[in-house]
Amino acid sequence: MAIERSWCVVPAAGRGARFGADRPKQYVALAGRPLIEWTLDRLAATPCIAGIVVVLAAGDTGWRARERIGDTPLLTATGAGERSGSVLAGLRALPREVGDDAFVLVHDAARPCVRSDDIARLVEHGAAAGGGLLAAPVRDTLKRADGETRVAATEPREARWRALTPQLFRRGELVAALERAQAEGITITDESMAMERAGHRPLLVEGAESNIKVTTPADLALAEYLLSREWGMGNGEWGMGNGE
Ligand SMILES: Nc1ccn([C@@H]2O[C@H](COP(=O)(O)OP(=O)(O)OP(=O)(O)O)[C@@H](O)[C@H]2O)c(=O)n1
Ligand SMILES: C[C@](O)(CO)[C@H](O)COP(=O)(O)O
């Protein structure tokens, strides 16, 4: 089932504790602009994104939301103490015309280097599979701990994937899965986890490893390098940089 365009919820209500700045990390300067603006501009410039709901912390004055970014409508919602609660708030703030069967993307405000063509492939293949997420293969050997610092298992090479965002699911199914996990008191770290607990097997769509999440200051330096590589031949326009 080919879907034309999809709305995107952008959770941006975190505190950025691991980043350790004097403001939430989504507002720290990245190449001269607040990090969040790079992410939102990138999403707004992605043809398959119909609109954006950005989820901000209650009373947040770190960034003045606009009604549109270019031709892309921009709505706001108020976040919660946990990321999953912020995502739920964003899903509930979608326009009425986005029904339960509509596929919706969820993308971290903290991921400014996402590639538009990766999002397009996720929308195409993830929708056909009933839901999916961008993911990058992990090069290191992964160990599963037994709760202490002892090795419980080693993940085989073909099973090692790093979940990214965006993640794409049907609005109604994702709301139900997140509400169920919330009712069960389960901490949900990404949308796929809630959907897996509800019995779904989301499709892994390989995305560029440059789609990093800015969590610490070291990540910010890498994001600045990655963005600089995407500029065109000095003309100041976004290149078609392959991100490699
Ligand atoms: N209650 C929360 C927590 C996180 N987020 C958002 O979810 C994305 C990914 O979360 P993460 O990187 O963990 O951000 P923080 O929670 O801010 O980071 P930390 O855990 O270091 O405080 C970020 O864009 C963040 O703003 C959110 O909207 N609401
Ligand atoms: C949602 C996410 O960005 C998918 O990769 C990731 O799970 C967030 O991880 P964190 O533990 O909140 O840093």
Print the SS3 string covering the chain: CCCCCEEEEEEECCCCCCCCCCCCHHHCEECCEEHHHHHHHHHHCCCCEEEEEEEECCCCCCCCCCCEECCEEEEEEECCCCHHHHHHHHHHCCCCCCCCCCEEEECCCCCCCCCHHHHHHHHHHHHHCCCEEEEEECCCCEEEECCCCCEEEEECHHHCEEEEEEEEEEHHHHHHHHHHHHHCCCCCCCHHHHHHHCCCCCEEEECCCCCCCCCCHHHHHHHHHHHHHHECCCCCCECCCCCC
Residue list, ligand 2 pocket, CB within 6 Å: 83, 108, 163-165, 189-190, 213, 215
pLDDT category, 232, cuts 50, 70, 90?
very low
How high is the mean pLDDT of the chain? Answer: 92
Which atom of ligand 1 is nearest to 109's Cα?
Answer: 24
pLDDT in tens, 140-191: 999 999 988 899 999 999 999 999 999 999 999 999 999 999 999 999 999 9
Mutate which of 165, 205, 219 for ligand 2 pocket (most atoms within 8 A of beta carbon): 165
Q: Which domains does the chain have, with CATH numbers?
A: 6-131+164-238 (3.90.550.10)
